[in-house]
């Protein structure tokens, strides 16, 4: 065996340098961001960059091969992307519209399992961007025990089939729970069908390209998060929104166009003084909805730490009013009423409400700043 050592290919060093530079730029964007300056928000901002770097690395470097697809859990309690929902398991898989795949697993018992077929979130699209197909697992034929198989392809197939239309490059799964402790998660596996192909080989060129893509994705997410936060914070003590289909149709925003068309979204911010809270009354649409959930969010578009206090709730966990509405109180301390959402002492932040399968466009919530009992 030769002991001659060759120099590393220059494209690897260039790609890695871009990856490191992107993380430095991300921190500079955190430093320049507009926010209340709460000490925890500064700490969360630095931590957030490490989390998004990890997410971008998994997305762009490890799981970006549509010929060897891997469906994986994209977000969890320590990796959160652009206003995560604690009630949702988010899965993701990269696909190629020219290939045929089999998606299989077991339904579980979550309230909803939705599949969003989309254009390439990381690279963008030459034509219409965002969601190109929206499907609900319960609309397919399942075995009595909940097992399922679905073919994914551009060409029509008999039985369970999800079309991969023009521009389709990924599927995002939103598995929504109402009471996690009482519901069983679904399972998912994806395989490419057709003639066998060799195992993947990581060449210097491929590695360098993926590192550069990870760098671009990291900065795109950081900039998008800042824009989203500023947009919602402009709605002071007001929560309002629209149907997911509207965001897809408008084609105005590279993130919002990937909304689920089976959902509606309402967002805004709370700005409180000492001993104040924001009372939020959520009104169901005529005909109801399968689910709504509200999440408190920091300036980096991460849900507040929900493992140790109640910073989110939904239509099954919250106590309802006699008329079928729900009144919540967002406050830095316990207001002594049901449905308290804990801000952790902060007097400013963002809240997002998601509706799954609303029968109509949900009315905007009624919001009112209240005095807390002393």
> Which of 307, 249, 318 shows the shortest CA–CA distance to 282?
318
Single out the residue in 197, 221, 246 at which a domain terminates.
Answer: 197
Q: CB atoms < 10 A from the CB of 309, how many?
A: 14
Q: What is the CATH number of the domain that holds 120?
A: 2.60.120
b/e burial code for range 43-74 (CB count within 10 A of at least 16 → b): ebbeebbebbbebbbbbbbebbebeebebbeb
Q: What is the CATH number of the domain that holds 269?
A: 2.60.120.600
Is the same domain home to 53 and 115? no
Residue 293: both structure tokens together:
């959930």
Residue 12: inside a domain, yes or no? no
Is the same domain home to 261 and 303? yes
Provide the pLDDT confidence category of residue 5 given band limits of 50, 70 and 90.
confident
Is the same domain home to 40 and 87? no
> What pLDDT does residue 35 have?
85
| Number of H-type helices and E-type strands within the chain | 4, 18
The answer to whether 43 and 51 have CB atoms below 8 angstroms apart is no
The answer to whether 122 and 59 have CB atoms below 8 angstroms apart is yes
Residue 186: inside a domain, yes or no? yes
Domain housing 329: 235-371
Whole-angstrom distance, CA of residue 223 vs CA of residue 219:
6
Is the same domain home to 192 and 97? yes
Is the same domain home to 221 and 318? no
Residue 6: inside a domain, yes or no? no
> What pLDDT does residue 246 have?
94
Is the same domain home to 338 and 256? yes
Provide the pLDDT confidence category of residue 357 given band limits of 50, 70 and 90.
very high
The answer to whether 269 and 367 have CB atoms below 8 angstroms apart is no
Residue 308: inside a domain, yes or no? yes
Whole-angstrom distance, CA of residue 267 vs CA of residue 255:
15
Is the same domain home to 110 and 35? no
Q: Between these two residues, 4 and 295, which has the higher pLDDT value?
A: 295
Residue 163: inside a domain, yes or no? yes
Residue 73: inside a domain, yes or no? no
Is the same domain home to 265 and 352? yes
Express each pLDDT in 191-216 by its tens digit. 999 999 999 999 999 999 999 999 99
Is the same domain home to 266 and 366? yes
Residue 364: inside a domain, yes or no? yes
> What pLDDT does residue 333 have?
95
Query: Over 60: is that where the pLDDT of 2 sits?
Result: no
Rounded to the nearest integer, the mean pLDDT of the chain is 96
Residue 96: both structure tokens together:
């190629």
> What pLDDT does residue 37 have?
83
pTM of the model: 0.95
Instruction: Give residue 349's Cα distance to chain centre.
Output: 18
Express each pLDDT in 222-237 by its tens digit. 999 999 999 999 999 9
Residue 4: inside a domain, yes or no? no
b/e burial code for range 204-225 (CB count within 10 A of at least 16 → b): eebbbbbbbbbbbbbbbbbebb
Is the same domain home to 101 and 41? no
Is the same domain home to 284 and 214? no
Is the same domain home to 240 and 311? yes
- 243: β partners: 264
Whole-angstrom distance, CA of residue 236 vs CA of residue 225:
18
Give how many domains the chain has, as a whole number.
3
> Which of 198, 273, 205, 195 shows the shortest CA–CA distance to 236?
273
Single out the residue in 231, 247, 280 at which a domain terminates.
Answer: 231
């Amino acid at each position: 065996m030769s002991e001659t050592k060759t120099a590393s290919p220059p494209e690897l060093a260039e790609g890695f340098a871009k990856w490191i530079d992107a993380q430095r730029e991300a921190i500079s964007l955190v430093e320049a961001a507009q926010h209340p300056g709460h000490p925890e928000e500064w700490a969360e901002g630095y931590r957030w960059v490490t989390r998004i770097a990890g997410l971008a690395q998994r997305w762009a470097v490890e799981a970006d091969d549509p010929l060897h697809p891997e469906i994986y859990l994209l977000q969890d309690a320590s990796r959160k992307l652009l206003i995560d929902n604690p009630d949702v398991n988010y899965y993701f898989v990269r696909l190629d519209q020219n290939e045929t795949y089999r998606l299989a697993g077991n339904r579980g018992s979550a309230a909803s399992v939705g599949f969003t077929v989309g254009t390439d979130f990381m690279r963008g699209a030459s034509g219409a961007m965002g969601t190109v197909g929206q499907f609900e697992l319960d609309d397919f034929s399942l075995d009595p025990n909940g097992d399922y198989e679905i073919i994914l392809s551009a060409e029509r197939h008999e039985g369970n089939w999800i079309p991969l239309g023009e521009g389709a490059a990924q599927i995002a799964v939103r598995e929504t729970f109402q009471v996690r402790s009482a519901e069983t998660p679904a399972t998912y596996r994806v395989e490419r069908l057709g003639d066998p192909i060799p195992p993947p080989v990581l060449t210097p060129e491929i590695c360098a390209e993926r590192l550069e893509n990870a760098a671009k994705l990291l900065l795109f997410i950081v900039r998008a998060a800042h824009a989203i936060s500023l947009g919602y914070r402009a709605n002071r003590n007001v929560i309002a929104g629209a149907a997911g289909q509207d965001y897809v149709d408008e084609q105005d925003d590279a993130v919002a166009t990937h909304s689920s068309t089976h959902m509606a979204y309402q967002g805004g911010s709370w700005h409180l003084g000492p001993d104040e809270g924001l009372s939020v009354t959520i009104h169901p649409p005529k005909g109801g909805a399968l689910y709504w959930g509200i999440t408190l969010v920091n300036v980096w578009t991460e849900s507040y730490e929900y493992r140790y206090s109640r910073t989110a709730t939904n239509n099954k966990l919250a106590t309802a009013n006699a008329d079928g509405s729900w009144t919540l109180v967002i406050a830095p301390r316990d207001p002594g009423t049901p449905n308290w959402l804990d801000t952790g002492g902060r007097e400013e932040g963002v809240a997002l409400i998601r509706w799954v399968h609303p029968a109509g466009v949900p009315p905007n919530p009624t919001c009112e700043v209240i005095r807390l009992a002393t």
